[in-house]
């Protein structure tokens, strides 16, 4: 497979259109079979459900070139299941999970020339999404939907890659109790735009959101879950019904336990105890694991002992093991790696 002539190692996390994308339509109560198209544009009603009432959800996963030259995708079945949950919560028709995985594989295959080579530090980001496409003016679900999958080659989400970042505690909330924080609804990200621009303007890389009800517990950032490491080496992650159940986080917790023999804990994490952790990281498909060096709480700084120069030792081991599994250097647990070719 002849790869595209792209300077892979200088890619950031941006959109570069690739050759093909998958599109399927829901009409009269049923999905059509879907097809690949070269057309990267969409024409819909001015009154489409997505445009008026934000009826849309999405997913994110990555394809990699392994050390031995295979093209693989990491746990797409979990993205399919999560998208089904998002659809149910937003009154959208579920795109069958098996068809979702097949659509993702088909799209990656059609764009294999854009899957960055092994060792380049880049990967092919896969973005499945769905939206209400026909007209709704009263507040109600659309009756027609489009499900699409596009791909784009990406580098690190945060500039500097594995360099520790600085985040701040946000005064804005991301998700309400009993709201939509646990699904991947576009509206959650619209909610976060003001806060992220403000954070960037103040010199911070991301926002740490606290629980909206009590503002005492750590939730997540705009695009990743938290992992903390205690001074005695235990891996702790916040449990909350209003955060997105990150596939990376769930995988890392299993890696920590089964590959690294570490103790793991998913529990409520109070902001007050964050100062006592030894390491902190953000985990997600885009973020992989991005180490956090410093948290700014309204001018008061929490500086982790791992510092601002490199990842802490446990974060590093987690990072190396997970990426080793994804790139085929380390044997994966059953079912984690889906071969495209």
Beta-bridge mates of residue 168: 207, 296
- Kind of pairing, strands 225-229 and 206-208? unpaired
Report, in Å, the least distance between residue 301 CB and ligand COI. Answer: 26
Q: Which is nearer to ligand PLP, 111 or 246 (CB)?
A: 246
In the set 20, 62, 184, 294, the catalytic residue is 184
What does the block give as tokens for 336? 């984690």
Using rule CB under 6 A, residue 280 touches ligand COI: no
User: In this chain, which of 164, 284, 291, 328 binds ligand COI, going by CB under 6 A?
Assistant: 284
* DSSP string for residues in 279-306: EEEEEETTTEEEEEEEEEETTEEEE-TT
User: How many residues interact with ligand PLP (rule CB under 6 A)?
Assistant: 12
The answer to whether the CB of 275 falls within 8 A of the CB of 231 is no
Which of the 8 DSSP states describes residue 23? E
User: Which three-class secondary structure state does DSSP give residue 151?
Assistant: strand
Using rule CB under 6 A, residue 11 touches ligand PLP: no
Partner interacting with residue 244 (select from ligand PLP, ligand COI, none; CB below 5-8 Å by kind): ligand PLP
Nearest partner of 274 among 221, 238, 319, judged by Cα: 238
The stretches of the chain forming alpha helices (DSSP H) are: 49-53, 76-89, 97-110, 186-201, 247-258, 313-326
**Residue 16: CB partners within 8 Å, gap ≥ 6?**
6, 114, 152, 153
User: In this chain, which of 18, 285, 306, 321 binds ligand COI, going by CB under 6 A?
Assistant: 285
Using rule CB under 6 A, residue 246 touches ligand PLP: yes
Half-sphere exposure of 21 (CA within 13 A, CB side): 22
Q: Which is nearer to ligand PLP, 55 or 246 (CB)?
A: 246
Among positions 271-290, residues that touch ligand PLP (CB under 6 A) are 284-285
Site string for ligand PLP, 167-206 (x = CB under 6 A): ----------------------------------------
184 belongs to the catalytic site:
yes
Partner interacting with residue 121 (select from ligand PLP, ligand COI, none; CB below 5-8 Å by kind): none
Report, in Å, the least distance between residue 212 CB and ligand COI. Answer: 19
SS (H, E, C) 221-235: CCCCEEEEECCCCCE
Triad 244, 158, 290: Cα angle to 5°: 60
Residue linked to tokens 């590093």: 316
What does the block give as tokens for 247? 């596939």
Report, in Å, the least distance between residue 157 CB and ligand COI. Answer: 7
Using rule CB under 6 A, residue 326 touches ligand COI: no
User: In this chain, which of 116, 128, 164, 223 binds ligand COI, going by CB under 6 A?
Assistant: 223
Alpha carbons 225 and 248: distance in angstroms, whole number: 9
Nearest partner of 312 among 291, 297, 298, judged by Cα: 291
Using rule CB under 6 A, residue 164 touches ligand COI: no
Q: Which stretch binds ligand PLP (CB under 6 A): 114-122, 129-137, 165-173, 239-247?
A: 239-247
Using rule CB under 6 A, residue 286 touches ligand COI: yes
User: In this chain, which of 44, 60, 121, 336 binds ligand COI, going by CB under 6 A?
Assistant: 60
State the catalytic residues: 184
Interacting residues toward ligand COI by CB under 6 A:
60, 223, 284-286
Interacting residues toward ligand PLP by CB under 6 A:
60, 220, 223-225, 244, 246-249, 284-285
């Amino acid at each position: 497979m002849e790869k595209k002539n792209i300077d892979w190692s200088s890619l950031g996390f941006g959109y570069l259109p690739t050759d093909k994308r998958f599109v399927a339509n829901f009409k009269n109560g049923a999905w059509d079979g879907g097809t690949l198209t070269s057309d990267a544009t969409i024409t819909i009603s001015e009154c489409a459900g997505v445009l008026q009432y934000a009826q849309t959800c999405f997913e994110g996963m990555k394809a990699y070139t392994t050390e031995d030259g295979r093209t693989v995708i990491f746990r797409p079945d979990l993205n399919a299941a999560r998208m089904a949950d998002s659809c149910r919560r937003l009154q959208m028709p579920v795109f069958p999970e098996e068809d979702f995985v097949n659509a993702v594989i088909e799209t990656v295959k059609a764009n294999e020339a854009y899957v960055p080579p092994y060792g380049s530090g880049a990967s092919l980001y896969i973005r499945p999404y769905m939206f209400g496409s026909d007209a709704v003016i009263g507040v109600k679900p659309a009756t027609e939907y489009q499900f699409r999958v596009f791909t784009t080659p990406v580098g690190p989400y945060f500039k500097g890659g594995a360099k520790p970042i600085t985040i701040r505690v946000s005064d804005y909330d991301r998700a309400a109790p009993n709201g939509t924080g646990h699904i991947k609804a576009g509206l959650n990200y619209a909610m976060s735009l003001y806060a992220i621009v403000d954070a960037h303007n103040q010199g911070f890389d991301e926002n740490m959101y606290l629980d909206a009800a009590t503002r005492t517990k750590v939730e997540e950032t705009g695009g990743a879950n938290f992992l903390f490491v205690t001074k005695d080496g235990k891996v702790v992650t916040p449990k909350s019904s209003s955060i997105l159940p990150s596939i990376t986080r769930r995988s890392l917790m299993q890696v920590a336990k089964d590959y690294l023999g570490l103790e793991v804990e998913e529990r409520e994490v109070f902001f007050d105890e964050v100062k006592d952790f030894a390491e902190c990281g953000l985990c997600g498909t885009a973020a992989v694991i991005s180490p956090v060096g410093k948290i700014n709480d309204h001018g008061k700084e929490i500086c982790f002992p791992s510092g601002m120069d490199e990842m802490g030792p446990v974060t590093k081991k987690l990072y190396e093991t997970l990426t080793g599994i994804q790139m085929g250097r380390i044997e994966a647990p059953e079912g984690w790696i889906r071969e495209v070719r």
